[in-house]
A and B are shown apart, each in its own frame.
Chain A
Amino acid sequence: MFQPDAFIEALYLVLNWNTLMWLTIGVFVGVGLGAIPGLTTSTGVALMLPLTFTLDITGALGLVIGLYKGALFGGSISAISFATPGAPDSAATVFDGYRMTQKGQGRKALLTSLYSSVTADSLSDVLVILIAPMMALAALQFGPAERTWLMVVAIALLGALSGKHVAKGLFAAAIGLYIGTIGSDPMGGASRNTFGLAWLRDGISLVPLIIGLFAMSRMLEQAVELIHESRLGHKVERKMNDLFSNKEDTLTFREYLSNWREMSIGLGVGSFVGMLPGLGATVASFLAYGIAKRLLPHKRLGTGVMGGVAAAESGNNATAGPTLVPLLAFGIPGSATAALIGGALLLQGITPSPRMFELHADVIYALFTILILANLFNLVIGRGFAFFYAKLGGLPKPVLVPTIMVLAVIGSFATQGNPYDVGVMLFFGFVGFFMRRFGIPEAPLIITFLIAPMLEESMRRAVLISGGDWLGGLLNSPLSLILMGLAVLVLVLSYRMRFSERLEAMAHEQDSQGAADDDATR
């Protein structure tokens, strides 16, 4: 399976100034985006997608993966500095991180966050490098029927785990399935579902769809909120001085090592959760924090200790690599960010699938190398500039929101130079605004939009092979039956077990316990 020539080619592609420069820019911008409350990883990657069009494959991957990893760590900076997580992924970090800042240990909290993030991220990347090729090898044995059911399982998981309400997650997935059929028939090429508009014959373009859903919709939402607010933002008590104080203790190597149990829990939980479609970094960080708190009662997590920061941060960062496993092994993105990285690959003319390991082994090795290198860059940039980024969290939203709206307009046009793309972006910006208001998650939409043509092709091939016999075509092997059963089981269990509600309740429990601890301390 290992191809030395391709690996050497990948090293040659990655270890040059161009790729390293884009990787540096990606991490640098990513940490900054992560540190600014209201800007999520998806927003950042969505805005950068048009730029990847002008880069070579490794430069594009360096930019996007660097940005992703940087933003994951960056979210903890504002969580620790002033109790406002840059993104939901870092919400669990507030419990101990902000209390450490209040106790005058902000610098230690930030360094704990950085080191545990990088440690868990690096180890989970190694796991990806070991697991993804094996899974891809297995996936290559799948026929069209198995591939169809695998995609159905992924959609069921996405619907079940993406939001608080199963039906809403599945509804978002159904929208993606529908708009994925706009354009032309993937097998015959006949025009369909275009509403008589000639410019829709090529289908909905990925970049304006992504920018609309992940950037414009959020900016519309924030702009509407700002218009309603009587004053500029709400004032958050900030104890920034501690972070910049030279008097404060830094983190010793012994202290870093003392968190090994919390980091291991975060690594295990994050890696597992990352590989499952639909869950994501927020769930991983709350789960890792909750498990560490229960398993290690003597550490008194929630009272402003390093262990809490380490568990939450290693949990969310350990999802970064594994979230790419379903994308690389099966061609099915497991999260919104994986879908965006898949989008970047598609823009470069590479379709993510298990065959990528055969057809583009150099790109796969380059991706693995970039995953590892991004952690080193994250460490260096995070260590050097974390205290500068803490100030970025205070950037006024009235400046930020219109700037991102301008970038969204230019970015959606830039990819193809198509004026209609701006209209598509604005339309989906409005759709995304509605979805967010109604509590409908956007991630299942974008993921099913990406896999819709593959799903259609696999299903039609399976039926075609069996001479038009649906049952014989789609349920032609024990694996097909198992996968179909799994999809049904996921849907039934998700309705009966109220998994998302439990996770939310757990987050509230941590929050209220933390508040109680605060009251007790006072």
Chain B
Amino acid sequence: MQRKPSRRAPAGWWRTNQALGLGIAIAVAVLFAYLWQQDWYHREQRDGFILGFFPGLGLAAMLVTALALTLDRWRHTVVEEIATLDWRDLLWAVVLSAAALSLYALMEPLGMLLPIALFLALMMLLLGLRPWYLAAGLAAAIALIILAVFTLLGIRLPGAFLPLLI
């Protein structure tokens, strides 16, 4: 991945496996404390097991492996992908996930064709496809193809084809 040198963050301690393990361990401990306070956790079943035993076992396994990350021989290692990660990458991942959620939310009121075509066109432009009319044309064509294929296959779709159509 090509990046400008100024964007590259330094590989500090917080990018090491040890920091990752510690962060996870804290999060798992908080989750465990939350579960422990729930009534269902301590409810005994007919076979003698409490209801929270297996969720607790899963969390215990997560905690042990997270602690192993902080102590094992690779604890000072910085994974290549983490060395170049900055907060903007995370922000973009959130924005893109939100965009996908908005796409779904708009499917019911606006019908499927318009939101899909709009999402595709905007994403193509964001990801660098030029000129704009190529992105718009491709977006419309792909949206039509996707809807046609899914409709032909009889797959349940989140909205109607066009607004106000059932």
**Number of residues of chain B lying within 8 A (CB) of chain A:** 69
Question: 6 tightest A-B contacts by CB?
Answer: A178-B58, A402-B123, A174-B61, A398-B127, A171-B65, A398-B129
Cα–Cα, bound, A185→B53 (Å): 10
A-B contact pairs, 27 of them (CB 8 A): A51-B153, A167-B69, A168-B69, A171-B62, A173-B61, A174-B62, A174-B64, A181-B55, A185-B51, A220-B93, A220-B97, A223-B96, A227-B92, A227-B128, A228-B89, A229-B1, A229-B128, A232-B128, A232-B129, A406-B119, A409-B100, A410-B146, A413-B156, A413-B157, A414-B150, A437-B81, A438-B82
Is B140 part of the contact surface with A, judged by Cβ < 8 Å? Answer: no
Is B162 part of the contact surface with A, judged by Cβ < 8 Å? Answer: no
Query: Which applies to chain B's interface (DSSP): helix, strand, loop or mixed?
Result: helix
Q: Is the CB of A406 within 8 A of B93?
A: no
Stretch at the interface among A10-18, A287-295, A297-305, A428-436: A428-436
Which chain B residues (22-79) contact chain A, with CB distance < 8 Å? 24, 35, 40-41, 43, 45-49, 51-52, 54-55, 57-59, 61-62, 64-66, 68-69, 72, 74, 77, 79
- The chain B residue with its CB closest to the CB of A53 is B155
Q: Is the CB of A437 within 8 A of B51?
A: no
Residues of A within 8 A of B157 (CB): 410, 413-414
Known: A417-B156, A436-B81. A193 touches B35 (CB 8 A): yes
Is A123 part of the contact surface with B, judged by Cβ < 8 Å? Answer: no
Cα–Cα, bound, A336→B126 (Å): 32
Residues of B within 8 A of A (CB): 1-3, 7, 17, 20-21, 24, 35, 40-41, 43, 45-49, 51-52, 54-55, 57-59, 61-62, 64-66, 68-69, 72, 74, 77, 79, 81-82, 85, 89, 92-94, 96-97, 100-101, 103-104, 116, 119-120, 123-124, 126-129, 135, 138, 142-143, 146, 150, 153-158
Residues of A within 8 A of B (CB): 50-51, 54, 159, 165-168, 170-171, 173-175, 177-182, 185, 187-188, 190-193, 216, 220, 223-232, 234, 396-399, 401-403, 405-410, 413-414, 417, 419, 422-423, 426, 429-430, 433, 436-439, 452, 456, 460, 463-464, 468, 495
Known: A171-B24, A193-B35, A228-B1. A188 touches B58 (CB 8 A): no
Q: How distant is A278 from chain B, measured CB to nearest CB, in Å?
A: 15
Residues of B within 8 A of A230 (CB): 2
Query: Which applies to chain A's interface (DSSP): helix, strand, loop or mixed?
Result: helix
Q: Is the CB of A178 within 8 A of B59?
A: yes
- The chain A residue with its CB closest to the CB of B70 is A167
Q: Is the CB of A51 within 8 A of B129?
A: no
Q: How distant is B11 from chain A, measured CB to nearest CB, in Å?
A: 14
Residues of B within 8 A of A191 (CB): 40
